[in-house]
Amino acid sequence: MNTETSQSTDKAETVGKLRTELSVAKNLFFGEIVEENLFPYPQMRERDREMLGMMTDAIDRFLGDQAADLVEMDRIGEQPEEFIQALREMGLFGLIIGETHGGLELSNAAYARVLAQTSSHDSSVSLTIGAHSSIGMKGILLFGTEEQQARYLPSLASGETIAAFCLTEAGAGSDAAAVRCKATLQEDGSWLLNGEKIWITNGGIAGLYTVFARTDGPEGKLTAFIVEAGWEGVSHGPHEDKMGIRASSTTTVAFSDVRVPAENVLGEVGKGFKVAMAILNNGRTGLGGGAVGGMKALIKLATAQAKDRKQFDTPIAEFGLVREKIAQMAIDCFAAESTVWMVAHYIDSGCKDYSVEAAISKVFASDAIQRAAHEALQIAAGNGFMKEFPYEKITRDTRILSIFEGTNEILRLYIALSGMKDVGATLSDLKNAVGDIFNNPIKGFGVLSAYAERRFRASTGIGTDRIERELDPRLRAVAEVLERYTVELSKAADLLLRKHGKKITDYQYQQKRIADVTIDLYVGLCVLSRADHLLRSQDPEAEAAVQIAELFSKQARRRMVRNLRGIRHNEDATLDALAGRIIERGKYVWDVI
């Protein structure tokens, strides 16, 4: 790869060969592939592998035996206390807490793998465990003082205390900064907390809440607090009656003149938004892992159904339109899995800038499992529609994944704008450099020549970033697609920024195209790396993995061509006008009578 990158490479720390300061996804916007952060495909730590072997078997035994009860929990919309107690006894609340505090100290990669296993049985179970670890108490792990960690982690590890994450309010969903819940500083240094949070996972069973509140006036900044459920003034509403993940507890949580001691501020006062985003970014691989586990279960169900069911005297597994669905489910699952565990590895290796990759893994995995649930139900057809079979529950359960922990729309905008921000900074550096040539010639010419080199590469394709690793010929063809469209992405970002400047934020249709190209490129690179690893390690299934890499890259290329062409030739204005018209009327205005 090229040595010049969007972020300072001199400072780049390394873990093995990993460049922990660099984001692979953001560098794609400069036409550059940070090869060191993609190859070789990361492997699970030996200690995690051993523990996972035992845990996945125990989970299968326990949840396998409970299959009928899990259906009943979905029907009544609740997990009984005895069931939660059994989850505690299996150590499922202490997965990522350090051994010194009584936890299992699994890596993020191993944690995501545990959630994959629980999700292959029931999503509500994953949510109870996941909301506790991924978001509920993650703030204490990431930002807690030693004293806070010593006070809370042991009971969080045993599950005696279950945690929940309280950000969303009636007026603050995607716009998390619009939180109105308020904490007022008291003379003795404590805080008085007032407000109501909605749709809080584990809200009804938690003993500890990570709460985000405004701390300096109505337009002030957010601060994170650790709030105990037992304190005076803390209450929660009844379980919400939901479409899916019905057994998982979702409630409102209200705070009425709750006195929070100064030592329960989490992180710095006024830095709550940063705390919330860090928790959500760090927790996204848990959701991705769950989605992969769910997809594996769907593939098992769909293949069994396709082999068993005969129509026209033929198992439906022999029909092309059924086989196409099964192949696509496998491609999607492999791609999601390769991406989720790559991102988990970044987190475990101390990478500093992985938020775009984490967003990509969440968007791709959550979209993929919804496609898989739709297609598996279609293969089961009438049976799939009946409550007697698991497909309708899985379809209901997976629907939430593109809504919470950042909607997929918001995350797509985030992916596009985060990447373009760095390109925009380079463009304004360029503008400044023209002035600097006279004031500070050395600095000015430095920026100019660096940028000119990039532009030259991008416009000519000469010096296109090439993955230097020696690849199997079939994987080389896959790599060429990714190399070529990485350059095309950088050209498209450059074009949009030159045309719209900061106003690019007003062009969401374009941002979506850029995000989708970035997703295809990053996921494609993860697939390539994994297939390369499987070939090198002579995995018995390596051939199929290479086929998947070839198929993914060809499908991705078609999508990328369409998206990139759409940047120049589109009907965005007409679509927007039509939407405006329909929204204004508030209905579909035509009829045939």
Ligand X SMILES: Cc1cc2nc3c(=O)[nH]c(=O)nc-3n(C[C@H](O)[C@H](O)[C@H](O)COP(=O)(O)OP(=O)(O)OC[C@H]3O[C@@H](n4cnc5c(N)ncnc54)[C@H](O)[C@@H]3O)c2cc1C
With beta carbons less than 8 A apart as the criterion, state whether 211 and 166 touch: yes
Residue 199 in 3-state DSSP? Answer: strand
Q: Token pair 């205005």 is at which residue?
A: 589
By beta-carbon proximity to ligand X, the closer residue of 166 and 298 is 166
- For residue 195, give the H/E element and its range: strand 191-201
- Between CA 407 and CA 165 the distance in angstroms is 16
Q: How near is the Cβ of 237 to ligand X at its closest, in Å?
A: 13
Nearer to ligand X, 24 or 167 (CB): 167
Minimum CB distance to ligand X, residue 75 (Å): 17
Element at 109 (helix H, strand E) = helix 108-119
Q: Closest approach of Cβ 200 to ligand X, in Å?
A: 5
Nearer to ligand X, 211 or 556 (CB): 211
Q: In whole angstroms, how close is the CB of 413 to ligand X at the nearest point? A: 6
Q: Which amino acid is at 561?
A: V
Least separation in angstroms between residue 506's CB and ligand X is: 11
> How far, in Å, are 127, 405, 500, 508, 511 from residue 503 at the CA level?
38, 27, 5, 10, 11
Q: What secondary structure does DSSP assign to 404-459, as a single string?
A: SSS-HHHHHHHHHHHHHHHHHHHHHHHHHHHHHHHHSHHHHHHHHHHHHHHHHHHH
- Least CB distance from residue 280 to ligand X, whole Å? 9
Q: For ligand X, give the closer residue by CB, 173 or 270.
A: 173
The tokens 């949510």 sit on which residue? Answer: 127
Question: Residue 503 gets which letter from DSSP?
Answer: G
Cα separation of 501 and 423, whole Å?
11
**Alpha carbon of 183 to those of 135, 152, 217, 262: distances in Å?**
21, 22, 9, 11
Nearer of residues 96 and 205 to ligand X, judged by Cβ: 205
**How far apart, in Å, are the Cα atoms of 519 and each of 270, 383, 486, 557?**
33, 34, 11, 12
Q: Report the length, in residues, of the chain.
A: 593
Residue 405 annotated in active site: yes
Check if the beta carbon of residue 86 is closer than 8 Å to that of residue 129: no
Catalytic residue among 357, 405, 483, 488: 405
Q: Report how far apart the first and last C-alpha atoms of the chain are (Å, whole number).
A: 64
Nearer to ligand X among residue 162 and residue 335 (C-beta): 162
Q: How far is the CB of 508 from ligand X (least distance, A)?
A: 6
Residue whose pair of structure tokens reads 């992969």 in the numeric block: 292
Which letter does DSSP use for residue 201 in this model?
Answer: E
| Distance of alpha carbon 113 from the chain centroid | 15
Contact between 400 and 290 under an 8 Å Cβ cutoff? The reply is no
Q: Which is nearer to ligand X, 38 or 211 (CB)?
A: 211
Would you tell me which residues interact with ligand X (CB under 6 A)? Answer: 131, 164-168, 173-174, 199-201, 242, 250, 400, 403-404, 407, 409-410, 413, 508
- Rounded Cα distance between 574 and 567, Å, is 15
Measured between alpha carbons, how far is 225 from 207 in angstroms, rounded to an integer? 14
Shortest approach of ligand X to residue 203 CB, angstroms? 7
Task: Please tell me the number of Cα atoms within 13 Å of 498 on its side-chain side.
Answer: 8
Contacts of 139 (CB under 8 A, 6+ apart): 165, 210, 224, 226, 266, 267, 275, 279
CA distance 392 to 402: 17
Residue nearest to ligand X (CB): 173
Q: Least separation, in Å, of the C-beta of 278 and ligand X? A: 15
User: DSSP letters along 526-590, please?
Assistant: HHHHHHHHHHHTT-TTHHHHHHHHHHHHHHHHHHHHHHHHHHHS--HHHHHHHHHHHHHHTS---
Residue placing its CB nearer to ligand X in the complex, 302 or 416: 416
What residues act catalytically?
Answer: 405
